[in-house]
Amino acid sequence: MYTDIKKDAQNSMEKKLERLRSKGISCEGIIEQEKTPLVDTFLAGPAGNCDLICMGDESHGGLLGTLLGSNLRDMIAKSPVPVIVVRS
């Protein structure tokens, strides 16, 4: 079941990336599967040349500080470029 969910998420991300690329937007997708030091790794690598970061979040309502994941909160706090949060 976990494998199917992972496969669906990857397929969905790739379709979104293809649509953006077809419009001439250079983009890269990363799906976080487990707790990792994503923010520092991403900001040191792919984010070095980006103008905007768009991240999905599955939390619903409530206060941002208590419901956003730690990687998302860290990215908002540390990113040198704007971060857009999209509810998934």
* Cα(11)–Cα(67) distance, integer angstroms: 26
- Does residue 78 share a domain with residue 61? yes
Residue 22's pLDDT is 95
* 28 vs 87, higher pLDDT: 28
- Does residue 54 share a domain with residue 70? yes
Claim: this prediction has a pTM higher than 0.75:
no
User: Per residue in 34-64, pLDDT tens?
Assistant: 666 677 777 777 666 788 888 877 665 554 4
- Does residue 36 share a domain with residue 16? no
- Does residue 78 share a domain with residue 51? yes
> Which residue range is the domain that position 61 belongs to?
32-87
* Cα(10)–Cα(3) distance, integer angstroms: 11
Q: 21: pLDDT confidence band, cut at 50, 70 and 90?
A: very high
The residues near 27 (Cβ < 8 Å, ≥ 6 apart) are 17, 20, 21
Residue 65's pLDDT is 46
